[in-house]
Structure 1
Amino acid sequence: MTVIADITVPANTFALGRVLENVPNVEIELERIVPLQEAIIPLFWISGEDPETIKTCLRDHSQTETVAELTTTDGQTLFEVHWSPDINGLVQALIDTRAKILEATGTTETWDFRLRFTAHEDLSAFNMALTREDIPVTLRHIYNPTIPDEHSPLSAEQREMLLKAYRNGYFKVPRRMNLAELAETEDISDSALSQRLRRGTEGLIEQTLLADE
């Protein structure tokens, strides 16, 4: 049965965290990780620091092969980095257990992940892999999600978050609850909540406005 786990790890146990440990104001939102035979390619949004500074930090790191600045919007810049395939630890554990990264946000201190595993056995294997690598991990929450309608582009988590935002007046003008307050009720970062709302809204548009096109 599918299981979802919310975990936190120190930034220095994650390759991207180590690369940017000298950029104190940076906030990172991982889009996805693409594992290839010749390289590992993370795509991530960065805010809180000049894009050129980030590009220089990434380019100068020994495990970075190439860096591309893809786009900038709303104060965030999307980067694509080709990492050396020799990277192990947390990234390798994610790949080996075929974990799906639903959300991932980080700073120079910690990284928060929401991961989906095909079965509890994969989650156990992931935890054992981190233990072998001496990577401390905090399990914040674990649950078996409700299986959504197979024809719906919204996940159960996205639907739940959109409804909670609506019921708490997040979409009202003026807002009755801002992003930080809403994130506090979920015990997640502003960035993680923004990511969940954005993807949920995208799915809702696909489900409604684009349904008849």
Structure 2
Amino acid sequence: MSVVAEFVIDRPSYAAVLDELPEMRLLVEGMTACDHETVLVTVWAEGDDFETFERDLEHEEAVQTIEALSEQIDNKKLYQLRLSAAAMTYWEWTNLGGVLLACTLNGDGMWMRMRFPDRNALAACRDYCTRRDRSFVLNELRTTTDGPDSGSNGLTSTQEELLTEAVDEGYFNIPRDTTLNELADSFDISNQAASERLRRGISNAFENISFQSSERILN
């Protein structure tokens, strides 16, 4: 059985640009190795100062190229970054059989959700981060079966649990009857992990609704 882990580690060096942009966050859409020395990262930037973001990235040693793949859409913009693999942990977790499921970077660190073949592989990834003096804080660890990591509604069990709690406790009421901090405390996870889980859960739910609607149209 594989394991799915949610954890927070120190940001890679290129993400130091977020120090001057505390309201900005980066949502990684995908990572692909171009060769052993280079990794191509597709990322959505959310914020309001893309000019500063692009300018500062161009001065980061680990960033080889930066290309905007979209115009600004509300407060989001899609980029493709060509990065030095030496500045990332990409090859380490890839060689351990790790699969990236989600990743977000902001001023507090880098939140990751990954699948590993077993606990030993996860422990090896943690030890690697420790040897490189990068913090590693495990928020959640779950053993999975060989089946899909979601139910018929498109949500993982942890996403469904948190969304259900948020609805039951009035998180989406106006005004809210509970806070993100209180939801995070009830699941013994960080605010960032709770925020990401809610966002991913809502996104998965709407994607599933859209997919089912498309199926009905096609049928």
Fold match, TM over 0.5? yes
Asked whether the 8 Å contact 2:160–2:201 carries over to 1, the reply is no
Query: Aligned partners of 2:115 and 2:3: how far apart in 1?
Result: 6
Query: Aligned partners of 1:169 and 1:204: how far apart in 2?
Result: 23
| TM-score, L = length of structure 2 | 0.75
Give the CA deviation at 1:194. Answer: 4.8
Asked whether the 8 Å contact 2:32–2:39 carries over to 1, the reply is yes
- 1:35-54 to 2 correspondence within 5 Å? 35-37=33-35, 39-54=38-53
| Structure 2 residue runs without a partner (length 5+) | none
Aligned to 2:30: 32
Query: Aligned partners of 1:174 and 1:131: how far apart in 2?
Result: 43
Query: Aligned partners of 1:124 and 1:149: how far apart in 2?
Result: 21
Query: Cα deviations across residues 75-124 of structure 1 (Å, max 9, x unaligned)?
Result: 1222211112x424533323322322233222233222222212222212
| TM-score, L = length of structure 1 | 0.77
Aligned to 1:73: 73
Query: Aligned partners of 1:24 and 1:150: how far apart in 2?
Result: 33
Residues 16/158 of structure 1: CA separation in 2 closer, same or farther (3 Å cut): farther
Query: Cα deviations across residues 133-179 of structure 1 (Å, max 9, x unaligned)?
Result: 23221222222146448884443344444434443445567765576
Give the CA deviation at 1:51. Answer: 0.9
| Structure 1 residue runs without a partner (length 5+) | none
Asked whether the 8 Å contact 2:43–2:79 carries over to 1, the reply is yes
Answering whether residue 212 of structure 2 is matched by residue 197 of structure 1, we say no
Residues 19/93 of structure 1: CA separation in 2 closer, same or farther (3 Å cut): farther
Query: Cα deviations across residues 27-56 of structure 1 (Å, max 9, x unaligned)?
Result: 222223222216311222223341111111
Give the CA deviation at 1:198. Answer: 3.7
Residues 123/40 of structure 1: CA separation in 2 closer, same or farther (3 Å cut): same
Give the CA deviation at 1:62. Answer: 1.9
Aligned residues between the structures: 210
Q: Which amino acid aligns with 1:163?
A: T
- 1:34-183 to 2 correspondence within 5 Å? 34-37=32-35, 39-71=38-70, 72-84=72-84, 86-145=85-144, 147-148=147-148, 152=152, 153-170=154-171, 182=183
Aligned to 1:210: 214
Q: CA RMSD in A?
A: 3.1
Asked whether the 8 Å contact 2:151–2:157 carries over to 1, the reply is no
Aligned residue among 188, 192, 196 for 2:191: 188
Asked whether the 8 Å contact 2:150–2:157 carries over to 1, the reply is no
Q: Which amino acid aligns with 2:52?
A: T
Q: Which amino acid aligns with 2:83?
A: W
Percent identity for Structure 1 against Structure 2: 24
